[in-house]
C-alpha cells in the first residue's frame, strides 16, 4: 500500500486541471482535484467562452448593419446590452453544466475539493476549504494547474481609478459609451471589435507600433485597417504616462514626443496575464519558480521528479489548447512513464475577430533569423468560391515552405474561419504532410478548406518554369500559349 493519501493531486480546476484529473483517473490513479473558485477556470468564466459569445453578438449586429451584402436591407440593430450580457452568462453556465460540473468528475472517481491548496512539504498540501475546514493530504504525484490572472502594470494613478480586466468585463450591465483599452494584443483586439459593434466608441492604446505583435505583420495590418474602418481608433507607439479620474477616466499618453489625453467612461486593461504562483507554498516544497511562472522542462516536470506544472502557471503558453496539451504530456510522463514532450513546433493560435487571424509554426521573421531558405505561397480569399458566396472575400492565406519538396514551416491566415483552416495545416506539419500532399488531396466544394488545397496548389505553380512548359509543348505537340512566368504573384 502507498504511504500517500492519493496517487495524484491536481491543484486547479481549469483547462489543464480538468484534463489532468480526467486522464489520471482514467489510468486508475486515486485522484483529488482542488479548485479554489469554480471548475472550468478562466476559459469557461472569464476567457474563451464569454469573449466569443460577445464577439458573436457583435458579428450578428454588424451583419444586420450590412444586410445589403447579402441582398437584404441595411438596418441599425436594436441592442439591449443587458440582454447580451445575460446571454453571455447563460452560455457559460451551459458550458459549465455540460462539461465542468464537479459531479461529472466525481462520477469518474475523482475527489473534488473546493478550497485553496498550499504545499507544506514536497509531498503534502494543506487545504483550506470554503467552509472554513483545514486539512492536510499527501500524494505520490502533484500536478500544479493553478492558471494565471490579469496583469495590470504599475501605471501612475491606476489604483485611483476603476478599471476592467477580462475578470470583470463580463459582469458589467451597461455598455460603455467611450471605452479605452490599453493593450492591442488578442484580448484587447477581440474586445475592441465586440464592444465597438455593440455600440461603444473604442480607443485602443499600445506601446508597440502595430497591433498583434506576435502575428504576421502584413495580416495584422490588414486586420487593423478593417477595425479602423469599423470606427475603432488606435494610438500606437504610445507610452502611457498616467491615468486619472478627471472628467471620466483620462489616460495621458506620449506619442512621438507629444502628450495626448484620451478620456472615456470605462477603461479595460488588456495588458497580459501573470501566473498565479502566490499562496501555493512553492518554497516549502522546494519548487523552482520566478515571476514568470513555475519552471518546467519539455515533459512539464519541475525540479522535483514527482511534481509537474501545466498551463498558464508555467508562463510558457497562454492558450487553453496548450493547457490541455501540457496536461496530457505531464500525466503521461508521470503516471505511465511513457516519454512525451511538449510539441512546441506546431502550436496554433487564433484571434477570433471578424475576420479571424490565425497562425501555426515559424514566423517569417524566425525563418530569416535561423537562415532557413523558404518560399512564400499566397492565396487570397477572393479566389475561394465559398468566401464569395458568404460575402467573406476579405482575407489571405500565407504559407512559408521549402521550395523543392513543399515541407511546411509556418502558416498565417487572415479571413473567415481561419481558426478551422489553421488546424489543417497544424495536422499537416505535425505529420510531415507537404504542400504537394495537400494539393493532391480531394477537398469538397464549395468549402473554405478548398482554399487550403488551392493555396497548396501554388507550390506546383511556383515550381513550374517557362522551359518546362516549352519542353512539354514540343514533346507532345501542344499549340497553346506559354503562361507568363514573369509575374511573381500569379495565382492559378
Supply 362's cell numbers: 515559424
Helix boundaries (H) for 205-360: 217-229, 282-285, 320-336
For the domain made up of 6-39+101-150+274-336, give the CATH fold: FAD/NAD(P)-binding domain (3.50.50)
Q: Report d(CA 181, CA 48) in Å as an integer.
A: 18
**H-helix or E-strand spanning residue 277:** none
Q: H helices within 110-165, ranges in order?
A: none
Residue range(s) in the chain whose domain bears CATH number 3.50.50.60 = 6-39+101-150+274-336, 158-272
Binding-site residues from annotation for NAD(+): 183-190, 272
Please state the pTM of the whole predicted model. Answer: 0.94
Give the pLDDT confidence score for residue 492 in this predicted structure: 78
CA distances from 178 to 56, 183, 473 (A): 21, 16, 65
pLDDT at 490: 78
- Which pLDDT belongs to residue 202? 98
Q: How far apart are CA 357 and CA 415, in angstroms?
A: 7
Compute the CA torsion angle 298, 299, 304, 306 (nearest 10 deg): 170
Binding residues: 52, 183-190, 272, 312
DSSP string, 15-40: HHHHHHHHHHHHTT--EEEEESS-TT
Give dist(CA 121, CA 286) in Å, integer: 8
pLDDT at 467 (0 to 100): 83
Weakly modelled stretches of the chain, pLDDT under 70: 1
Helix axes 449-462, 418-430, angle to 10 degrees: 50
The C-alpha cell that represents 490 in the structure block: 500569379
Q: What is the tens place of the pLDDT at every residue in 304-319? A: 999 999 999 999 888 9
How much is the pLDDT for 361? 97
* CATH architecture entry for 349-476: 2-Layer Sandwich (3.30)
Query: What pLDDT shows up at residue 473?
Result: 86
Q: Give the Cβ contact number of residue 274 at 10 Å.
A: 17
Classify residue 385 as exposed, middle or buried by CB count within 10 Å of its CB (0-12, 13-18, 19+): middle
- pLDDT at position 481 is 87
- The cell for 272 is 497580459
The whole-angstrom separation of Cα 383 and Cα 392 is 11
Task: State the architecture of 158-272 in CATH terms.
Answer: 3-Layer(bba) Sandwich (3.50)
Residue intervals in the chain for CATH 3.30.390.30: 349-476
Q: Which residues are annotated as a binding site for FAD?
A: 52, 312
- Please give the C-alpha separations between residue 353 and each of 62, 88, 227, 448, 490, in angstroms, as whole numbers: 12, 17, 9, 17, 29
Nearest alpha carbon to residue 148 among 326, 313, 296, 322: 313
- State the pLDDT at residue 318: 87
Amino acid at each position: 500500500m502507498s504511504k500517500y493519501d492519493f496517487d495524484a493531486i491536481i491543484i486547479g480546476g481549469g483547462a489543464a486541471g480538468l484534463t489532468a484529473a480526467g486522464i489520471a483517473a482514467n489510468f486508475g490513479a486515486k485522484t483529488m482535484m482542488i479548485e479554489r473558485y469554480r471548475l472550468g477556470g478562466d476559459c469557461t468564466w472569464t476567457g474563451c467562452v464569454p469573449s466569443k459569445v460577445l464577439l458573436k453578438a457583435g458579428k450578428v449586429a454588424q451583419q444586420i448593419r450590412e444586410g445589403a451584402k447579402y441582398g437584404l436591407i441595411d438596418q441599425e440593430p436594436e441592442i439591449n446590452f443587458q440582454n447580451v450580457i445575460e446571454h453571455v452568462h447563460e452560455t457559460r453556465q451551459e458550458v459549465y453544466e455540460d462539461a465542468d460540473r464537479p459531479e461529472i468528475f466525481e462520477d469518474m472517481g475523482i475527489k473534488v475539493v473546493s478550497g485553496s491548496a498550499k504545499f507544506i512539504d514536497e509531498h503534502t498540501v494543506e487545504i483550506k476549504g470554503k467552509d472554513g475546514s483545514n486539512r492536510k493530504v499527501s500524494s505520490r504525484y502533484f500536478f500544479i494547474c493553478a492558471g494565471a490572472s490579469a496583469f495590470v502594470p504599475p501605471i501612475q494613478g491606476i489604483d485611483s481609478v476603476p478599471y476592467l480586466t477580462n475578470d470583470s468585463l463580463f459582469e458589467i450591465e451597461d455598455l460603455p459609451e467611450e471605452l479605452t483599452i490599453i493593450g492591442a494584443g488578442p484580448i484587447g483586439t477581440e474586445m475592441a471589435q465586440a464592444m465597438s459593434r455593440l455600440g461603444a466608441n473604442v480607443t485602443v492604446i499600445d506601446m508597440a507600433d502595430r497591433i498583434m505583435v506576435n502575428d504576421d505583420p502584413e495580416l495584422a495590418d490588414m486586420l487593423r485597417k478593417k477595425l479602423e474602418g469599423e470606427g475603432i481608433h488606435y494610438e500606437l507607439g504610445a507610452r502611457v504616462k498616467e491615468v486619472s479620474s478627471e472628467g471620466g477616466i483620462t489616460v495621458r499618453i506620449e506619442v512621438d514626443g507629444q502628450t495626448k489625453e484620451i478620456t472615456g467612461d470605462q477603461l479595460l486593461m488588456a495588458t497580459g496575464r501573470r501566473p498565479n504562483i502566490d499562496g501555493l507554498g512553492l518554497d516549502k516544497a522546494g519548487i523552482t519558480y520566478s515571476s514568470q511562472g513555475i519552471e518546467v522542462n519539455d515533459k512539464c516536470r519541475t525540479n522535483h521528479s514527482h511534481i509537474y506544472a501545466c498551463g498558464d502557471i508555467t508562463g510558457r503558453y497562454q492558450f487553453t489548447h496548450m493547457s490541455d496539451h501540457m496536461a496530457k504530456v505531464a500525466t503521461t510522463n508521470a503516471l505511465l512513464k511513457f516519454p512525451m514532450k511538449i510539441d512546441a513546433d506546431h502550436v496554433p493560435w487564433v484571434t477570433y475577430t471578424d475576420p479571424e487571424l490565425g497562425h501555426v509554426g515559424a514566423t517569417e521573421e524566425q525563418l530569416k533569423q535561423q537562415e532557413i531558405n523558404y518560399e512564400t505561397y499566397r492565396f487570397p480569399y477572393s479566389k475561394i468560391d465559398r468566401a464569395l458566396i458568404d460575402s467573406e472575400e476579405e482575407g489571405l492565406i500565407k504559407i512559408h515552405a521549402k521550395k523543392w519538396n513543399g515541407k511546411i514551416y509556418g502558416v498565417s491566415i487572415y479571413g473567415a474561419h481561419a481558426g478551422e483552416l489553421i488546424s489543417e495545416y497544424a495536422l499537416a506539419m505535425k505529420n510531415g504532410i507537404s504542400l504537394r500532399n495537400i494539393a493532391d488531396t480531394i477537398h469538397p466544394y464549395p468549402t473554405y478548406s478548398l482554399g487550403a488545397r488551392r493555396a497548396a496548389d501554388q507550390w506546383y505553380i511556383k515550381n513550374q518554369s517557362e522551359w518546362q512548359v516549352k519542353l512539354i509543348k514540343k514533346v507532345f505537340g501542344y499549340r497553346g500559349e506559354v503562361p507568363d512566368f514573369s509575374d511573381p504573384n500569379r495565382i492559378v
